[in-house]
Amino acid sequence: MSMRDKVKDHYGLIAKLVSESKQPSGCCCGDSCCSVTGATRIYDLENLPSLPEQAVNASLGCANPLVFAKLQEGEVVLDLGSGGGIDVLMASQHVGPTGKVYGLDMTDEMLILANDNKERMGVHNVEFLKGYIENIPLPDASVDVVISNCVINLSENKEAVMSEIYRVLKPGGRLAIADIVATREVPAALQDMVALWVSCFAGALRIDEFERCLARVGFKDISIVPEFIYGKEVLGNPGGQLTGEEWEALDGAYAGALVKASK
């Protein structure tokens, strides 16, 4: 099974559990989950009650990209890997009825959950699309702002993702992404561990690699700021597979970061 299919299975299962209300609010699945902070620690508490409970419970992000996306009324926004739709639904309130927010995800169960959440919230300026972030199903220069929350690290072809973001952005458009980055080189054996990959760590780019990748496809004004440095206890020891030495090697090796750039 490819890594992409493993990622799909992982997030499909989470979506099902949330849809069936089998998970407690704020954190979906403990150590093996992408969410290393939980919705109540990422978002302003005052915004959460306006959202469907199932959207909040499905939150798997690592920070709030809307804080620095500075969305304006009437803008067209695209959320890559929109999951249960929490950032899409919040963004829909910022851009208003004259704006539009697309959520793109490859996992059927997540799309079902997101569409249910859209209906629960009764918003009309939102559309969820099925597809891959490496091959975005939108025309060139059609989007003002691309947001994403803890997704790009899951892709095995990050350069394709960056160039697709660049392609769909209008000239002068911007990206505002929350993602996990590596603060230093991580041993290759650890990067290959499926549990670390699907939980958003093993596939994380180093900050300098991320910057270079964005610059290569044409982005300017690039800024990557690590916000939360993760200790080894946050990563857990999936399946007890890591030796004590390997686990130590991961202490502080990853951070939740805010990534900005413009076209």
Site of interaction with ligand SAM (CB under 6 A): 7, 11, 34, 59-61, 81-84, 86-87, 105-107, 110, 132-134, 149-151, 154-155, 200
CB of 244 to ligand SAM, least distance (A): 28
Q: Please state the closest distance from residue 68 (CB atom) to ligand SAM, in A.
A: 15
Nearer to ligand SAM, 51 or 106 (CB): 106
244 Cβ contact partners less than 8 Å away, ≥ 6 residues apart: none
Name the minimum Å distance from CB 220 to ligand SAM.
25
In the bound complex, what is the minimum distance in angstroms from residue 3's beta carbon to ligand SAM? 10
Q: Which is nearer to ligand SAM, 7 or 250 (CB)?
A: 7
Q: How far apart are CA 77 and CA 71, in angstroms?
A: 8
Q: Which is nearer to ligand SAM, 59 or 125 (CB)?
A: 59
Query: Residue 83's beta-bridge partner residues?
Result: none
Give the number of C-alpha atoms closer than 13 A to the C-alpha of residue 25, restricted to the C-beta side.
9
Burial group, residue 20, by CB count within 10 angstroms (0-12, 13-18, 19+): exposed
Question: Shortest distance, CB of residue 126 to ligand SAM, whole angstroms?
Answer: 14
> For residues 64 and 249, which CB has a smaller minimum distance to ligand SAM in the complex?
64
Main-chain phi, psi angles of 164, to 5 degrees: -65, -40
* Dist. CA 214–CA 62, nearest whole Å: 20
Residue number with CB closer to ligand SAM (61 or 99) = 61
Q: What is the DSSP annotation of 157-203?
A: -HHHHHHHHHHHEEEEEEEEEEEEEESS---HHHHT-HHHHHTTSTT
